[in-house]
Amino acid sequence: MTAATSTAVAGALTGVSAVTILCHVRPDADTIGSGLALGLALTRLGTEVEVAFPDTVALPAVLGELPGSKLLVPAAEVVGHPVVVSVDAASLGRLDELAPVFSAAECSVTIDHHASNNGFGDHDLIDPAADCTAVLVLAVLDELGVELDVDIATCLYAGIVTDTGSFRWARPESFRVAARLLDAGVDGRAWSRALIDSHPFAWFSLVSQVLATARLDPHACNGEGIVYAVVGHDVLSAMSWEESESVIDIVRTAVEAEVAAVFKETAPGEWAVSLRSKRAVDLVPIVAARGGGGHRHASGYSDTGTADAVVARLVESL
């Protein structure tokens, strides 16, 4: 593996006849938006492109409406071209059933912004200072000389608006990138509403059940505090995955806690744990000790056991 620049990645993609682009499991707007933006750009250059994600969890409907969605192919139908690019996957495992496609490539490229990503491709464009993978893809497109049209810009905007929480924790560079995308014709209002501020009415009842489980431990994290909530399997199974992901954004608003956690029971006794911190706590070593990964202030890991045991393991360790 080699640490790569956007110039080097563009070079690896130049003159290639066909490329496979892989997005991570439980796809979000950054991985799909980045994958489709890169795919659209390469098709403009005459490259044959397929974009895929592990379809163990269905694609959120709104992401299927992004420009370029016609490039998406079912995981079982992936050809696996000689050049394969992974976008927004923090590890090879995040490609799930498509990991062998990446590993078998003659030339493999990773583009990602997760601090926990140590690189797993032949060329690794990894920048934890970037707010999202979409901004790194834009840098590659600039090196390729591809014009930023409204379709490509819309896909990139989906990644940046979601990974920055509607720019609530965006770095200055993200605002500059967003201005470029809006200038290219993106309907920022419509896409922000569709991606962030739209839920089915039934979501209110489900979230109220989850918030009823919320607990605050003000002594955790050296007195900084943790707030957490539990989404049992019965409640989680009534939600789409993206709806369950939005719960952490409510829980994290508790002013008494530096760290927020949501425990989601994906199957009986199996848990996906989402963590967020505000200022002082670096989550990466916390989740790394549990086999997880992510960013300093947004990370996750998996665990098994009863709800009480899984919660206790985290809270007691903090």
Looking at residue 84, its pLDDT comes to 98
Give per-10-residue mean pLDDT for the chain (318 aa).
Answer: 84 97 95 98 98 91 96 96 97 96 98 93 96 97 97 98 92 96 97 93 92 93 93 90 87 95 94 92 90 86 95 89
Angle CA(55)–CA(307)–CA(226) in degrees, nearest 5? Answer: 95
Looking at residue 280, its pLDDT comes to 86
- The pTM for the full model equals 0.89
Looking at residue 306, its pLDDT comes to 96
CA distance 308 to 210: 15
pLDDT tens, position by position, 191-238: 999 999 999 999 999 999 999 999 999 998 889 999 999 999 999 988
Could you give the count of Cα atoms lying within 13 Å of 291 in the half-sphere of its Cβ? 8
Looking at residue 2, its pLDDT comes to 58
Angle between helices 133-144 and 150-163 (to 10 degrees): 150
SS3 readout for 249-302: HHHCCCCCCCEEEEEEEEECCEEEEEEEECCCCCCHHHHHCCCCEECCCEEEEE
Coil, strand or helix at 226: strand
Q: Left, alpha or beta for 165 (phi > 0: left; psi -120 to 50: alpha)?
A: left
| DSSP assignment of 51-107 | EE--TTSPPPGGGGGSTTGGGB--GGG----SEEEEES-SSGGGGGGGHHHHHT-SE
Looking at residue 274, its pLDDT comes to 94
CA distance 68 to 110: 21
Give the pairing type, strands 226-231 and 215-217: antiparallel
* List of residues 6+ apart from 132 with CB closer than 8 A: 30, 34, 88, 113, 159, 160, 162, 163, 164, 174
